[in-house]
Amino acid sequence: MGVTPKIAPSMLSSDFANLASEAKRMLDFGADWLHMDIMDGHFVPNLTIGAPVIESLRKHTKAYLDCHLMVTNPIDYVEPLGKVGASGFTFHVEASKENWQELIQKIKSKGMKPGVALKPGTPIEEVYPLVDCENPVEMVLVMTVEPGFGGQKFMPEMMDKVRALRKKYASLDIEVDGGLGPSTIDMAASAGANCIVAGSSVFGAPEPAAVISHMRKSVLENEEKC
């Protein structure tokens, strides 16, 4: 496959009153990235964090901050997030049909890695132009739950999207988010996902390090089979 596993605990499941220490704890447990869910209360009903929180956390960590923008106007967030040290900027294809080319360009110009996400009801074909273009996204995030809230049940039927992506793009970073844990990781990894977002399954585990290690092992084993 030619891709590496990236395990990204979802900080939405952390203790927000102790975000810096929670981030350090996850990194000490072996996390590769920290997944930051930015919701505007409009594109999705929930309201979470924004640039001020990313700025505060950046003062305490050099980790890759994998920002998932569940917002109606992602272009408005590029400059603020670039300024405060976000690493990845993943926007939703459903919110960027008119301006995704400009959006990708802006994200890269601010030193961030562009990614595109799609909801469960969105056909995978909608993201192909963003990967095939001259100035492409560098990651596709396949939502395996409806975006907006943590703790939802994994949707195995979304693995068809992951398989289609991996068949078409051998070296693309493919991320999955929603309901990932020890009981579902093998389905995602065997379909071709290499970037794994996990919230309650990591933060709620008696031994988070063991869960992170298990998920990484599953991605590596499936990569070897490809």
Task: List, by residue number, the catalytic residues.
Answer: 37, 177
The verdict on whether residue 214 carries a ligand-binding annotation is no
The verdict on whether residue 179 carries a ligand-binding annotation is yes
Q: Are the C-beta atoms of residues 215 and 185 closer than 8 Å to each other?
A: yes
The verdict on whether residue 10 carries a ligand-binding annotation is yes
The verdict on whether residue 92 carries a ligand-binding annotation is no
The verdict on whether residue 43 carries a ligand-binding annotation is no
The verdict on whether residue 200 carries a ligand-binding annotation is yes
Q: Are the C-beta atoms of residues 165 and 174 closer than 8 Å to each other?
A: yes
Kindly report the backbone phi and psi dihedral angles of residue 119, in degrees, each rounded to the nearest multiple of 5, phi listed first. Answer: -70, 165
The verdict on whether residue 149 carries a ligand-binding annotation is yes
Secondary structure class of 130 (helix, strand, coil): helix
- Enclosing H/E stretch for 113: strand 113-118
- Amino acid found at 223: E
Which residues touch 132 (CB under 8 Å, ≥6 apart)?
none
Rounded CA separation 23/150 (Å): 17
The verdict on whether residue 181 carries a ligand-binding annotation is no
The verdict on whether residue 88 carries a ligand-binding annotation is no
The verdict on whether residue 28 carries a ligand-binding annotation is no
Q: Smallest Cα–Cα separation from 144: which of 65, 68, 34?
A: 68
Q: Are the C-beta atoms of residues 9 and 202 closer than 8 Å to each other?
A: yes
Binding site residues for substrate, as ranges? 10, 68, 148-151, 179, 199-200
Binding site residues, as ranges? 10, 35, 37, 68, 148-151, 177, 179, 199-200
